[in-house]
Amino acid sequence: MTCPLAGSVFKVVTSVGASVQEGDTLMILEAMKMETPITAPCAGTVKSVDVAQGQTVNEGQVLCTLG
Amino acid sequence: MDIVQLLHDLTGFYNLSLGMVFMWVVCVVLFYLAVVKEFEPLLLIPITFGAFLANLPCENMWNAPGVDPATGHVVAGGLYYYIMQGIHLELFPPIIFLGVGALTDFGPLIANPRTLLLGGAAQFGVAATYQCAYYFMGFNEGESATIGIIGGADGPTTILLAGKLAPHLLGAVAVAAYSYMALVPMIQPPIMNALTTHAEKRIRMKSLRPVGRAEKLIFAAMSCALTIMLVPPAAPLLGMLFLGNFLRESNVCDRLTKASQNEIINMTTIFLGTSVGATMTAENFLRFDTLKILCMGVVAFGVATAAGVLMAKLMNLTINRSNPINPLIGSAGVSAVPMAARVSQVVGATHDKQNFLLMHAMGPNVAGVIGTAVIAGYFIATLK
């Protein structure tokens, strides 16, 4: 999953190995003083989490991998 | 009898009026909205406290300097006589704009310049409210312009215009502007939902291209020159806006940028807010006109929101057929930055969680700031 908007990672909700359903919140980004939840586009297992809480992220950067 | 005379001479109780006490009630309501409901508290608290002070019998806060007729000595003015010169001399709103410029990223507008049209369309709310106030509500041209500019959702511009064209309405229009800005998340969504189809709400826009430093600097300098040449009376606002932005984007003035973003804007906000509040004396505020202004403010916000959304739809039918824009970002053309952009994001996400409109909505949002300043300059040029 790639980052849809530039900002910073406010909170990582998921972890490697977690099973997620479509629409589950994976992490929360903060941009323009607004918290934006990043949700799973499909069901699957989290293979990797590529960012950490507080990290600045750019649009298009890989946030996590679902398998 | 002596005690009564002493109370009369030394205290302020005898100068209290019923209007002042009624204004305390108004202040309690505004304090409640600011502190408990968190309606733009950074501005509403200073405004309300200024109003509270203005409705206490403390003349030596406001008196102008003069000469004591008994001694012939020059007597200094009250504290707020001097602080309020920041409004009378039109200093505070441009200084606030310096901070706004230092806080604003024009990148989304540069990356997607067609959103400038959305910021422009939202100014239709200003124009329509001006017409309505002038032709149907009995206000004169200057007052109508001041009321219309509330629809631009830009506090400093509203205050600047009121100071120039209708100083007696300053308190009422400032309270209306900041209260409705706080209510943007409630006023806008019903209008946005009513004017768009489900399919339109789900339009996903292409990613914005990255915008480099040189591009942003050239944009700031050129926009500054162009807008000021177009509307010279808006120069104080636009000059300071783009100065702040140039400092920010230069990346070599970190201290000045941070000072503009924090200390300067915060300090000015306190003095601007309390000075505006100080104009809300009972005789100025407790008038039927205040109610009319509050009603017209909602109309201005609503029409501006609708105009932005409808312009986006029109653009999709004409120039944007191959690369449509989500009409929900049109509402962000009112300049309340970044709250109006956040509303676009929230409404869009309720229909498609994977749709991220926030940065796209920043384009019309910052265009709205420029648009409102330009239209204020136009009003000043034509009506002053």
Size of interface A-B (CB pairs under 8 A): 32
What DSSP letter does each residue of B13-74 carry, written as one string? GGG--HHHHHHHHHHHHHHIIIIIS-SSHHHHHHHHHHHHHHTSS-GGGTPPPEE-TTT--E
The pLDDT value given to residue B1? 58
Distance CA A2, CA A64 (A): 7
Structure-token pair, residue B347 = 């409404």
Alpha helices (runs of H) in B196-287, residue ranges in sequence order: 198-201, 213-230, 235-250, 254-259, 265-278, 282-285
Nearest chain A Cα to B107, which residue? A6
**Residue whose C-alpha is closest to residue B354's, from A25, A43, A34, A19:** A25
A9-38 average pLDDT score: 90
The complex's ipTM works out to 0.78
Q: CA-based Rg of chain A, rounded to a whole angstrom?
A: 11
Q: Are A20 and B371 in contact (CB under 8 A)?
A: no
Chain A, window 3-22: residues with a beta carbon less than 8 angstroms from a chain B beta carbon: 4-6
List chain B domain ranges: 2-61+77-82, 91-383
Distance CA B250, CA B28 (A): 44
CA distances from B179 to A38, B39, B141, B271 (A): 31, 7, 24, 18
Distance CA B358, CA B339 (A): 10
Backbone angles phi, psi at A19, to 5 degrees: -90, 130
CA distances from B309 to B55, B197, B333 (A): 42, 11, 9
The pLDDT value given to residue B41? 85
Does residue B93 have a cis bond before it (omega within 30 degrees)? Answer: no
Residue of higher predicted confidence among B270 and A31? B270
Q: Is residue A55 part of a domain?
A: no
Q: Is residue A58 part of a domain?
A: no
* Chain-chain contact of B353 with A37 (C-beta, under 8 angstroms): yes
Instruction: Quote the minimal CA–CA distance from B357 to chain A in Å.
Output: 9
Which amino acid is present at B277? G
* Chain-chain contact of A36 with B356 (C-beta, under 8 angstroms): yes
- DSSP class of residue B8 equals H
- DSSP class of residue B254 equals H
Q: Mean pLDDT over all residues of chain A? A: 90
Residues of chain B with pLDDT under 70: 1
The pLDDT value given to residue B120? 93
B272 contacts: CB under 8 Å, gap ≥ 6 = B46, B86, B87, B92, B93, B96, B156, B159
* Chain-chain contact of A39 with B338 (C-beta, under 8 angstroms): no
Q: Is residue A56 part of a domain?
A: no
Structure-token pair, residue B255 = 């201290």
Q: Is residue A6 part of a domain?
A: yes
* Residues of A with Cβ-Cβ distance to B342 under 8 angstroms: 32, 34
A36: nearest CB among B208, B345, B362: B345
The pLDDT value given to residue B12? 76
The pLDDT value given to residue B336? 81
The pLDDT value given to residue B340? 92
CA distances from B383 to B66, B142, B165, B247, B259 (A): 33, 6, 8, 33, 35
Q: Is residue A63 part of a domain?
A: no
Handedness of CA A7, A11, A16, A17 (dihedral sign): negative
Q: Is residue A8 part of a domain?
A: yes
Q: 3-class SS at A31?
A: strand
Q: Is residue A51 part of a domain?
A: no
Q: Is residue A60 part of a domain?
A: no
Q: How many independent structural domains does chain A possess?
A: 1
HSE toward the beta carbon, residue B291, CA cutoff 13 A: 3
- β partners of residue A19: A45
Domain span holding position A31 = 1-45
Backbone angles phi, psi at B247, to 5 degrees: -60, -45
Distance CA B8, CA B161 (A): 40
The pLDDT value given to residue B117? 94
Query: Which CATH number belongs to the domain containing residue A1 in this structure?
Result: 2.40.50.100
A34: nearest CB among B207, B354, B358: B358
Q: Around Cβ B202, how many Cβ atoms within 10 Å?
A: 15
Residue with tokens 């206000």, as numbered in its chain: B139
Q: Are B150 and B292 in contact (CB under 8 A)?
A: no
The pLDDT value given to residue B58? 80
Distance CA B98, CA B258 (A): 11
* Chain-chain contact of B353 with A34 (C-beta, under 8 angstroms): no
* Residues of B with Cβ-Cβ distance to A23 under 8 angstroms: 353
Residue with tokens 């001399």, as numbered in its chain: B89
| CB proximity A54 to B under 8 Å | no
A16 contacts: CB under 8 Å, gap ≥ 6 = A46, A47, A48, A49
